[in-house]
C-alpha cells in the first residue's frame, strides 16, 4: 500500500521532468498554483511548482497541506554551494533549515523565528536516509547520462553527496563577499536557496515529515548567474527526476 507524498519544485524545468514520470497526472488549479495529482512508484503523488522565494514557497505549502493532506513532503531543486567542500554537481541532503535573512533583534535573537524559540527546523530522519540513498544513486548515474566532454565543460568531476544544513533567504547569492559572510554566520550550512526553510516551517506547523535535497548549481559567487541556467537545463532537471523516482521506490 503506497503513501500520499507531496513533491515541491521551485522551478518549472525541475517539475516538468518529474511530471513525465506520472503518466496519469491530473491538473488541479488552486490559488494561483497548479497542483498535479497522479501516481509514481505505487504512491499517490501531488507535485507542485512553488515559485521562487519564501512567501511563494510558504503559501504553496500551506495550500498543499490543507487541500491534499500528504503524509510527507519532499523539496527538490538547485542551490548555491556554500561550504568550501561543496562543488558544482554535488548533492546536499538537508538535515536542518534556517532563514539567513530573519532578524527581529533586539526583540529576539538574530535568526530566531518569533514565536518558535528556535532558528532551525529539522528534517525528518527517515526522509534524510531515503534521500541520501537516492542521491547516491543519482551521482553514480550522472556519468551515464552525460559524456566525458560535457561533464568537463560543466565542471563536473566526481560529484559527491553531503548531509548538512541548508539556509534560505529572499536573495539570490551571487557575490563572494555575500557567500563568505553567510559561511561565517552559518558554518554548518552546505547550501543556500530561496525556499526550503519556508517550506520546513509550514510543515513543522502541521506536523508533517519533511525532507529536502538540493543540487549544487553554482558556487554562490560572481559566476552564479552564468552557471545557474546552464546547469539547470543540462543537469539539475534530470537529477531531480532521478532522485524523486528512487526516493519513492525506497519509501
Q: What is the CATH number of the domain that holds 81?
A: 3.40.50.1580
Q: What is the pLDDT of residue 234?
A: 78
Question: What percentage of residues in the chain have a pLDDT greater than 70?
Answer: 95
Higher pLDDT, 151 or 54: 54
Higher pLDDT, 223 or 79: 79
Q: What is the pLDDT of residue 225?
A: 53
pLDDT bracket for residue 152 (50, 70, 90): confident
| Measured distance CA(28)–CA(69) in Å, rounded | 14
Q: What is the pLDDT of residue 1?
A: 62
**Residue 218 annotated in active site:** yes
∠ Cα 62 71 213 (to 5°): 75
Q: What is the pLDDT of residue 54?
A: 97
Model-level pTM? 0.93
Q: What is the pLDDT of residue 113?
A: 94
Write out pLDDT tens, residues 33-91: 999 999 999 999 999 999 999 999 999 999 999 999 999 999 999 999 999 998 888 99
Q: What is the pLDDT of residue 125?
A: 98
What region, left, alpha or beta, does residue 189 occupy, with left being phi > 0 and alpha being psi -120 to 50 degrees?
beta
pLDDT bracket for residue 221 (50, 70, 90): low
Mean pLDDT of all residues belonging to the chain: 91
Q: What is the pLDDT of residue 147?
A: 73
C-alpha cell at 18: 518529474
Region 184-191: mean pLDDT is 96
Higher pLDDT, 24 or 148: 24
Q: What is the pLDDT of residue 148?
A: 75
What is the helix (H) or strand (E) element at residue 228, kind and residue range? helix 224-231
DSSP labels, 120-182: -EEPPHHHHHHHHHHHHHHHHHHHHHS-HHHHHHTT-SS--EEEEEEEE-SS---SHHHHHHH
Determine which one of 14, 124, 165, 195 is catalytic.
14
Domain that holds residue 178: 4-250
Write out pLDDT tens, residues 195-208: 999 999 999 999 99
Q: What is the pLDDT of residue 222?
A: 60
23 in Cβ contact with 34 (< 8 Å): no
Q: What is the pLDDT of residue 220?
A: 63
Higher pLDDT, 10 or 19: 19
Write out pLDDT tens, residues 80-114: 999 999 888 899 999 999 999 999 999 999 999 99
| Measured distance CA(195)–CA(54) in Å, rounded | 5
Determine which one of 124, 218, 221, 227 is catalytic.
218
C-alpha cell at 106: 533586539
pLDDT bracket for residue 135 (50, 70, 90): very high
Cα 67 to its chain centre, rounded Å, is 22
Domain count for the chain, please give it.
1
Amino acid at each position: 500500500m503506497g503513501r500520499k507524498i507531496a513533491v515541491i519544485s521551485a522551478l518549472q524545468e525541475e517539475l516538468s521532468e518529474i511530471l513525465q514520470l506520472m503518466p496519469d497526472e491530473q491538473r488541479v488549479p488552486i490559488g494561483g498554483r497548479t497542483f498535479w495529482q497522479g501516481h509514481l512508484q505505487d504512491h499517490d503523488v501531488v507535485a507542485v511548482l512553488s515559485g521562487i522565494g519564501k512567501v511563494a514557497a510558504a503559501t504553496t505549502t500551506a495550500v498543499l497541506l490543507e487541500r491534499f493532506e500528504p503524509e510527507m513532503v519532499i523539496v527538490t531543486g538547485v542551490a548555491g554551494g556554500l561550504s568550501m567542500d561543496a562543488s558544482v554537481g554535488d548533492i546536499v541532503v538537508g538535515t536542518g533549515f534556517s532563514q539567513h535573512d530573519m532578524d527581529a533583534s533586539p526583540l529576539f535573537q538574530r535568526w530566531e523565528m518569533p514565536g518558535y524559540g528556535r532558528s532551525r527546523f529539522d528534517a525528518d530522519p527517515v526522509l534524510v536516509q531515503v534521500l541520501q540513498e537516492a542521491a547516491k544513486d543519482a551521482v553514480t548515474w550522472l556519468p551515464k547520462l552525460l559524456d566525458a566532454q560535457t561533464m568537463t565543460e560543466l565542471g563536473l568531476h566526481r560529484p559527491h553527496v553531503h548531509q548538512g544544513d541548508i539556509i534560505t533567504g529572499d536573495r539570490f547569492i551571487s557575490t563572494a563577499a555575500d557567500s563568505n559572510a553567510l559561511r561565517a554566520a552559518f558554518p554548518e550550512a552546505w547550501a543556500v536557496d530561496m525556499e526550503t526553510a519556508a517550506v520546513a516551517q509550514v510543515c513543522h506547523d502541521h506536523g508533517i515529515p519533511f525532507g529536502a535535497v538540493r543540487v549544487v548549481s553554482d558556487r554562490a559567487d560572481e559566476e552564479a548567474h552564468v552557471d545557474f541556467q546552464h546547469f539547470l537545463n543540462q543537469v539539475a532537471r534530470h537529477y531531480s527526476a532521478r532522485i524523486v523516482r528512487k526516493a519513492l521506490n525506497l519509501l
